[in-house]
Amino acid sequence: MEHRPDPASCSDEALLAALGEGADDEAALAELDRRHRPAVRAWVLRRHGDEELADEVVTETMQRLWQRRDRFDPARGSAAAWVFVLARTTCADLLRARRRRPVPVAHLREPATVEDQAERIVEAAVVAQLLDRLSAEHREVIRLAFVDGLTRIEIADRLGLPLGTVKTRVFYGMRALRLAAEELGIRRP
């Protein structure tokens, strides 16, 4: 009898290679799902703030991973990177499909109250005031990351900067924002 390694002790690449070989398919796919579900879901939530979409993207990504397992090429990158490529294209496909379908009335949000709108205006003014206290370089990457929802890689591509520079600017920009907020007497909840 052949001894098969525990999927939890295998690399992502080994798990992908095991897919399609029979008895351990389900265990390998379940382990890949366990490893990558939290990060993919968090990425979708950070970008779109939609839990239903996040769950749908994760499920569809794992299905595509199974269907396209033979397309993974370790020479082109890590298995984790490939999972995120699948997640990104899956998310784009699902959003495109949603735009073609009308939104059911049950999913429409109630209109915001005057108090909600006033609170949002005040929050926007405070954020604008905090951003004005940053250097132009820090303000630019913070806006691209947290307002436009771009990833650090997308920001680096857009600005023509090294990825490390973008990460550093985001880190120090956030630190400067926290300090500016403290100076204004704003405390995190």
Give the per-residue pLDDT at 171.
92
- The count of other CB atoms within 10 Å of the CB of residue 90 is 22
Give the per-residue pLDDT at 160.
94
Q: What is the pLDDT of residues 18-32, one digit of tens each?
A: 777 766 677 888 888
- The single-letter code of the amino acid at 182 is E
Alpha helix (H) ranges present in 68-101? Answer: 79-100
Give the per-residue pLDDT at 130.
82
Residue 96 has pLDDT above 60, yes or no: yes
Mean pLDDT, the chain, as a whole number? 81
Residues 61 and 90 sit within 8 Å (Cβ to Cβ): yes
Residue 118 has pLDDT above 80, yes or no: no
Residues 60 and 94 sit within 8 Å (Cβ to Cβ): yes
| pLDDT band per the 50, 70, 90 thresholds, residue 4 | low
| pLDDT band per the 50, 70, 90 thresholds, residue 106 | low
Which of 35, 27, 22, 20 minimizes the C-alpha distance to 78? 35
Least confident of 40-54, 91-105, 174-188: 91-105
Tell me which DSSP letter residue 148 carries. Answer: S
CA distance 38 to 60: 14
What domains appear along the chain, each with residue ranges and CATH number? 7-100 (1.10.1740.10), 112-183 (1.10.10.10)
Q: What is the pLDDT of residues 39-69, one digit of tens each?
A: 889 888 888 888 889 999 999 999 998 888 8
Give the per-residue pLDDT at 103.
54
Which of 55, 57, 56, 7 minimizes the C-alpha distance to 35? 7
- The count of other CB atoms within 10 Å of the CB of residue 137 is 14
